[in-house]
Amino acid sequence: MIWLHRYTKLVAASTVLLIAAGGMVTSTGSGLSVPDWPNTYGWFMFSFPMDKWVGGILYEHSHRLIASTVGLLTVILAIWTWRVDPRPWVRKLGFAALGAVILQGLLGGLTVLLLLPPAVSIGHAGLAQLFFCITLSLALFTSRSWRTAEPGVDDPTLRRLATATTAAVYVQILLGATMRHTNAGLAIPTFPLAFGHVLPPIWTQAIAIHFAHRAGAVFVTAGILATAFYVRLHHGSRRDLVRPAMLLVVLVAVQIVLGAFVVWSALQPIINTVHVVNGAMVLGTSLVLTLRSYRNSLRTVESRVSPDGVPRLGPGPSPVISAFRTEGQVGLSGDRTRDALPKGTHA
């Protein structure tokens, strides 16, 4: 299990790299520099000569190759998780990642062939973040701390706050993607004021999209600060909650500064891309905090398993309904003592 966990971290890190590569494609306006798909200028993708990786092709073709690699890594991840992890819902999540990456590849191809229609491109950007969330979740669920650490908190307020914050971050990312793919990134060319005013004095569709992203940033920042403050106040001794909460505050501060520089630099591609990647980091961190706030609930459908994958007995916050698979059998019971043992050991 520990190797599976390391592997999930590799896939999640590769996904960040993929998001960065995709960000560079959009930021440099290279999305259509390779007009065909899945081939590259008629070449089989993997045999496209390196001396032809010029101009925008460098970004688009690299993105396709990294995406193919992540796709292959995800196939292995799904199979590996299915074979090793005893929790049915985690195994299903592995295949959800595979489905998401396949759909993502198709959306990527479709947006090239349809000449970047905003709806498809925004969908491609939004699904990228969801796929990242799945890989990150798998990394969390397969981690030693998730499987063996002390019981999670049982705080409905925290759950609601963290969930709302994560949802708000995701909506904000979709707004950002809409802004990027409708060329509204400089619709308001000044920051922090809009044309010298708090509210734009004129409104067009592009200005409205751009302003919605700025307003969303205020909303998201408020949500993150409220969540972090709540965690600090009510769960200050819980490192598994305090650390992501504090990291969120830092990341959102960095994100605001990056957003300002995106405007001031007139969409400089590297700054733009770092803004996209850091946005993914904000989402991922918020998701980790949210999942940890739900840890008790999630663990009611899993067994307490030691780091090497062998189920063990241990104190739990509530009667645990086990659902683990041993020797091809899934057990479901409210009796944690009996079901926490592998099949046969309690006969």
Partner 1 sequence: MGFLRFSALMAIAGFAAACGGQKQAAPSGPPPNAKRVDMATAGKVTGRVMLDGAAPANPPITMTSDPVCISQNPNGATFESFVVDNGALENVFVYVKDGLGDYYFDVPADPVKLDQHGCRYVPHVLGVRAGQPLAISNSDDTLHNVHALPNTNPEFNKGQQLKGMVDTKTFAAREVMVPFKCDVHGWMHAYVGVLDHPYFAVTHDGGRFELKNLPAGTYTVEAWHEKLGTLTQRVTIAPKESKEITFTFKAPA
Tell me which residues touch partner 1 (CB under 8 A): 28-36, 41-42, 52, 54-58, 115
- Give the shortest CB-117-to-partner 1 separation in angstroms: 10
Residues 6+ apart with CB under 8 A from 182: 118, 205, 206, 209
Our CB check for partner 1 shows the closer of 73 and 120 to be 120
Question: Which tokens sit at 235?
Answer: 């769960």
Q: Please identify which residue in the block is written with the tokens 């899945």.
A: 38
Our CB check for partner 1 shows the closer of 47 and 237 to be 47
Our CB check for partner 1 shows the closer of 27 and 142 to be 27
Our CB check for partner 1 shows the closer of 14 and 28 to be 28
Question: Which tokens sit at 236?
Answer: 């200050």
DSSP-derived secondary structure for 105-173: HHHHHHHHHTT--HHHHHHHHHHHHHHHHHHHHHHHHTSHHHHHSSP----HHHHHHHHHHHHHHHHHH
- Give the shortest CB-55-to-partner 1 separation in angstroms: 4
Q: Please identify which residue in the block is written with the tokens 């005013």.
A: 197
- Give the shortest CB-227-to-partner 1 separation in angstroms: 41
Question: Which residues pair with residue 333 across a beta bridge?
Answer: 322
- Give the shortest CB-22-to-partner 1 separation in angstroms: 15
- Give the shortest CB-272-to-partner 1 separation in angstroms: 14
Our CB check for partner 1 shows the closer of 113 and 310 to be 113
- Give the shortest CB-51-to-partner 1 separation in angstroms: 9
- Give the shortest CB-267-to-partner 1 separation in angstroms: 13
Instruction: Residue 320: count other Cβ atoms within 10 Å of its Cβ.
Output: 22
SS3 for 326? strand
Our CB check for partner 1 shows the closer of 111 and 172 to be 111
Is there a contact between 92 and 304 (Cβ–Cβ < 8 Å)? no
User: How far apart (Å, rounded) are the C-alpha atoms in residues 143 and 166?
Assistant: 21
Is there a contact between 127 and 104 (Cβ–Cβ < 8 Å)? yes
Our CB check for partner 1 shows the closer of 29 and 38 to be 29
Residues counted in the chain: 347
Give the CA count within 13 Å in the CB-facing half-sphere of 24.
Answer: 17
* DSSP H or E segment with residue 171: helix 156-181
